[in-house]
């Protein structure tokens, strides 16, 4: 028989650097699961992704056990890495903070394709390009 789900939490943590301090402790502590066990499993699962922000969807069961699914890093984080910037523009209509090429957009779209709501690579590229525009990043040919 399947375990009964108590709740599902979503956290975005830096790969390989989860620890019991906030935000992990404050999110998982009230649920009654072993925080140190989660941190160890998350860090082991993400050790090869060092430097990326990795979203995790944590399913917590009634018997205080848990399982988690790792997602791909957010498009905004991948775009910031590609454009070599710290943050997006305060006003993306007037302020441009960086540039990415179509090839960069394609690489990011290929990486994000499994988590996007499309199976078409061209549509995924348009989604990523739209995110870039909203961040104040120019897309060059």
- Domain boundaries along the sequence of the chain: 5-70, 75-140
> What are the tokens at 89?
């523009």
CATH number of 5-70: 3.30.1550.10
Burial class (CB in 10 A: 0-12, 13-18, 19+), 91: exposed
The answer, yes or no, to whether residue 52 has pLDDT greater than 70, is: yes
Q: What is the pLDDT of residues 5-25, one digit of tens each?
A: 888 888 888 888 888 878 888
Q: Is the pTM of this model over 0.85?
A: no
The answer, yes or no, to whether residue 61 has pLDDT greater than 80, is: yes
The answer, yes or no, to whether residue 32 has pLDDT greater than 70, is: yes
The answer, yes or no, to whether residue 83 has pLDDT greater than 80, is: yes
Question: How many of the other CB atoms lie within 10 Å of CB of 4?
Answer: 8
What ranges in the chain are assigned the alpha helix state H? 24-28, 35-46, 75-83, 102-112, 121-135
Distances 4 to 42, 56, 69, 110 between C-alpha atoms, Å: 22, 20, 17, 35
pLDDT of 34? 84
Backbone angles phi, psi at 72, to 5 degrees: -80, 155
The answer, yes or no, to whether residue 106 has pLDDT greater than 80, is: yes
Question: What's the longest Cα–Cα distance across the chain?
Answer: 57
> What are the tokens at 11?
């956290």
- Mean pLDDT, rounded, of the chain: 86
> Region 38-48: what's the mean pLDDT?
86
Answer yes or no: are the C-beta atoms of 97 and 88 closer than 8 Å.
yes
> What are the tokens at 101?
């090429």
CATH code 3.40.50.2300 for 75-140: no
pLDDT of 126? 92
The answer, yes or no, to whether residue 74 has pLDDT greater than 70, is: yes
> Region 36-57: what's the mean pLDDT?
85
DSSP helix/strand/coil, 73 = coil
pLDDT of 1? 58
The answer, yes or no, to whether residue 136 has pLDDT greater than 80, is: yes
């Amino acid at each position: 028989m399947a375990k009964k789900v108590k709740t599902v939490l979503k956290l975005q943590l830096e790969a390989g650097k989860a620890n019991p301090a906030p935000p992990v402790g404050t999110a998982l502590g009230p649920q009654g699961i072993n925080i140190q066990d989660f941190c160890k499993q998350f860090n082991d699962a993400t050790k090869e992704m060092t430097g990326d922000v990795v979203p995790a969807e944590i399913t917590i069961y009634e018997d205080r056990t848990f399982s988690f699914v790792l997602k791909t890093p957010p498009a905004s984080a991948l775009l910031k890495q590609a454009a070599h910037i710290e943050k997006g523009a305060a006003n993306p209509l007037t302020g441009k903070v960086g540039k990415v090429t179509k090839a960069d957009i394609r690489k990011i779209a290929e990486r994000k394709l499994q988590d996007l709501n499309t199976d078409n690579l061209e549509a995924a590229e348009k989604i990523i390009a739209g995110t870039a525009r909203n961040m104040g990043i120019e897309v060059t040919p």
